[in-house]
Chain A
Amino acid sequence: KQEVTQIPAALSVPEGENLVLNCSFTDSAIYNLQWFRQDPGKGLTSLLLIQSSQREQTSGRLNASLDKSSGRSTLYIAASQPGDSATYLCAVRDSSYKLIFGSGTRLLVRP
């Protein structure tokens, strides 16, 4: 059974710092991995999707990497801003149609 873990559960950093969020999964037979952002009381906003054949994806200040063989993904946020404060979730899609989510990392960027 696929399990997704995100470490740390919470993170507080000063504005301007570069940071890395971690995601690990137990079964490497995935089709893709997706990173989301969730603001309090809101739905999920898709940030990046990495196909199983890809190593990384970039969008603006965000870079996500995927190492399928070791069951790991990282989300790198450059020059963090207070507006980046949110919960970040990673999810993997295996042979079924569904996404399997981690519990998220709550990020606070202090001005």
Chain B
Amino acid sequence: DTGVSQDPRHKITKRGQNVTFRCDPISEHNRLYWYRQTLGQGPEFLTYFQNEAQLEKSRLLSDRFSAERPKGSFSTLEIQRTEQGDSAMYLCASSTGDNQPQHFGDGTRLSIL
């Protein structure tokens, strides 16, 4: 059990650029979640996958955000035309079932210049 892995750990980019983050869940965890956390706040839900199907998407996720989980393994989160307000920590979590603990990665910290 190597834990949830996220890449990169830090991303600095200019406003208007596109960025993509990757999440590798714990092996055999078929549930995968993306959250966003700003300083001093708890994480806020973005989207949820069960295997390769995206089953829920928050209203926080504007059209500039897209997430995929091809083949039900790793997932990517892409932000197009980044804005200052996108600066945050993006966290990925996985679990084996809806009533099982969610295990989090160390996140990707995004800074928009």
On A, residues with C-beta under 8 Å from B are: 4, 31-32, 34, 36, 41-46, 49, 51, 89, 91, 93, 96-104
Contacts and interface: CB of A to CB of B under 8 A. Distances in A.
Given A32-B99, A44-B43, A97-B48, 7 more contacts: A46-B104, A49-B100, A97-B50, A97-B55, A98-B45, A99-B33, A101-B42
Interface of B: 4, 6, 31, 33, 35, 40-45, 48, 50, 55-56, 58, 91, 93, 98-107, 109
A41 B108 CA distance: 10
Contacts of B40: 103
| A contacts with B: majority SS | strand
A91 B82 CA distance: 29
B105 A43 contact: yes
Contact of B99 (A31, A44, A91): A31
A103 B41 contact: yes
B42 A104 contact: yes
A64 B94 CA distance: 22
B102 A99 contact: yes
A89 B35 CA distance: 14
Contacts of B42: 4, 89, 91, 101-104
Given A32-B99, A97-B31, A102-B42, A44 B56 contact: no
Nearest to A32: B99
A43 B101 CA distance: 14
Given A4-B42, A103-B42, A97 B98 contact: yes
Contacts of B91: 43-44
Contacts of B33: 97-99
Contact of B43 (A45, A93, A96, A101): A101
Contacts of A101: 42-44
- The 7 A-B pairs at the shortest CB distance, nearest first, are namely A101-B42, A98-B45, A44-B104, A43-B104, A43-B106, A46-B101, A97-B48
A85 B100 CA distance: 26
B48 A98 contact: yes
A57 to B, nearest CB: 11
A45 B6 CA distance: 15
